[in-house]
Structure 1
Amino acid sequence: MYPYQQDIHHFPYPAYSCMPRSYYESPYYEGGWFWNNGTLKSDESYRLPTEQQLTFVLVHGSWADAHFWDGVAEVLRSQGHIVYTPEYAGHGNDPNKNVTHAMITKSVVDFITRHNLHNIVLVGHSFGGSVIQKVAEQIPDRIKRLVFWDAFVLKDGESVADELPPQTRQGFEQLRASSKDDTIMLPFTLFRDLFVNTATLEEARWMYTSVTPEPAGPLFEKLDLKVFYELPIPKGYVYFYQDGVLPQGEGFGWNPHMSTRLGQFRLIVGDGDHFTDTRTRPGMVAQKIYEAGRD
């Protein structure tokens, strides 16, 4: 949930070394980060059998753009999968922050239909969970499986803000009120403790330089999800148990609080936090998403 910039300089990672490629100009990014971890596009030994190859559409969350997926997409493509990372309204290069949830949803629906995609594994991270819920209502026949990664699964009539603990919601409301363009900018201390809690301080500061203000309106919109809960699309949920964005228990949290709303679903568990591992361990994230999306 943070945009990548080509002018950010690298520092050592625990498991992967990387170098930035050029900044993307298309609706999705084909270049990404070059992961020098032995799992490259040219290494055929890492490619999966044809019958296991999937088409992924990865939908980012708040305080992010399509670059959030660069490393994960690179790994999945190196394994023979087809990967798309659409950008949606109010994010990335779009200067207009006066957007609605419907506009965001339309961005993803239009991307999928424009590229004539079918039989896709549609993945949503965080706020992106609410987006793929609404996307699925509009184009269910194009979706093979829905995968939610530490993502909101809203009840009919809820907003994302309704699922935040009172202290967090109050803080967001105050940040929204103090902005000049109806956005919310995460303070570093909040970002550090909740979003990148497993990162080093250096990593956290580096990632924070790319965080931009988030359009506030869509977070507070109540969504009609009656159609979603009638859809027979198979579903999976990826839960990282060190993710501190939402408290676990007391009526909040990713799993089982929201995940069980999916009815029958596949649960895949990892040990990461909300943001960090897409940069430091993209191979692990890619594997968990694949496990949740495969047949």
Structure 2
Amino acid sequence: MDKLNFVLIHGAWGDVSQFEKVADELRKLGHTVHVPEYPGHGELKDKNVTHEQITIAVVDYIREKDLKNIVLLGHSFGGTVVATVAQQIPNRIDRLVFTNAFVPLDGQSVSDQLPPPAQEAFKQLADASGNNTIMLPFPLFRDAFVNTASLEEAKAMYRRITPEPAGPLYQKLDLKKFYSLQIPKSYLNLTEDIVLPHGDYAWHTNQSSHLGFFRYIEGHGDHFTTFQTEPKMIAEKFVQAGRP
């Protein structure tokens, strides 16, 4: 089996701990795994950040470690980071993997990918926050983000999330170069993930179709829970998505 060099990019309301168990399973299989943190998340607590700052942080991490031949994988909001990072260092990347990830078209934002009621709800939360952040109400988190979890598991995961910087979610992204790149792409779809509801706004085939030609990998699981409860299965799906 080919040994892969993963760089894993978490999404909104997440931090590097999301991938700890999956990274351990990937390393047991002999793969190299890097999980960079980026501004506004984890220990980098300043929420006044831009999408450009997030991109630069990941690009700098990859350059400083001189990582090459990487499988660059983004989850959720991390899909937009994968796309903007790829524009800057395409020669270091062997494959891009989008895991229930946003894939905006050129000139679009993450917010543009959401159903109108969700756009309005998030705008109200950001406006009410006082610092342009969005904190998920627990009922939304429980039913959309961790819908396969027990109530106890859901409460434990909810205690770990922090308000998400709203600015990067509303930035219109220049992705012209991304859509001209010839880097192979994969889309991994966990079928119980209903953060984007099934139908016109679904992860697959709405977001995935923006990629054009791509490898499709499917598994079960929701947006957050399965990374913690079934890391070995998720690791195997990452390998299927990332292999040459």
What's the TM-score once normalised by structure 1's chain length?
A: 0.82
Rounded to whole Å, the distance in 1 between the matches of 2:18 and 2:195 is 17
- Which structure is higher in RCO with an 8 Å CA cutoff and minimum separation 6? 2
Amino acid at match of 1:221: Q
Match of 2:206 in 1: 257
Q: How far off its partner does 1:180 sit?
A: 2.0
Q: 1:139 aligns with which of 86, 89, 94?
A: 89
- From 222, 229, 244, give the equivalent of 2:172: 222
The runs of at least 4 consecutive aligned structure 1 residues that moved more than 2 Å come to none
Q: Which amino acid aligns with 1:269?
A: E
Query: Where do 5+ consecutive residues of structure 1 fail to align?
Result: 1-48
Which range is displaced more, 256-265 or 210-219?
Answer: 256-265
Secondary structure of the corresponding residue to residue 103 of structure 2: coil
Q: Who is 2:135 aligned against?
A: 185
Q: Could you tell me which residue of structure 2 aligns to residue 170 of structure 1?
A: 120
Aligned-residue Cα RMSD (Å) equals 0.7
1:287 is matched with: 236
Query: What is the aligned counterpart of 2:44 among 83, 87, 94?
Result: 94
* CA deviation profile, 1:29-87 (whole Å, cap 9, x unmatched): xxxxxxxxxxxxxxxxxxxx4xx100000000000111110000000001100000000
Q: C-alpha separation between the residues in 2 aligned to 1:60 and 1:171?
A: 23
CA positional deviation for 1:95: 2.3
- Residue 290 of structure 1 aligns to which amino acid in structure 2? V
Provide the identity percentage: 56
SS in 2 for 1:148: strand
Kindly tell me the number of residue pairs found equivalent between the two proteins.
244
Output the TM-score relative to the length of structure 2.
0.99
Matching residue's letter, 1:227: K
Give the structure 2 partner of residue 149 of structure 1.
Answer: 99
Q: Is the 8 A contact 2:39 2:45 kept in 1?
A: no
Please say if residues 71 and 96 of structure 2, whose CA atoms lie closer than 8 Å, have aligned partners that are also in contact. yes
Compare CA radii of gyration and give the structure with the larger one: 1
Shift of 1:169: 1.0
Between Structure 1 and Structure 2, the one with more helix by share is 2
Alignment of 1:175-214 (within 5 A): 175-214=125-164
Q: Does 1:243 align with 2:193?
A: yes
Once residues 179 and 244 of structure 1 are traced to their aligned partners in structure 2, the CA distance between those partners, rounded to angstroms, is 25
Contact 2:83–2:178 (8 Å) recurs in 1? yes
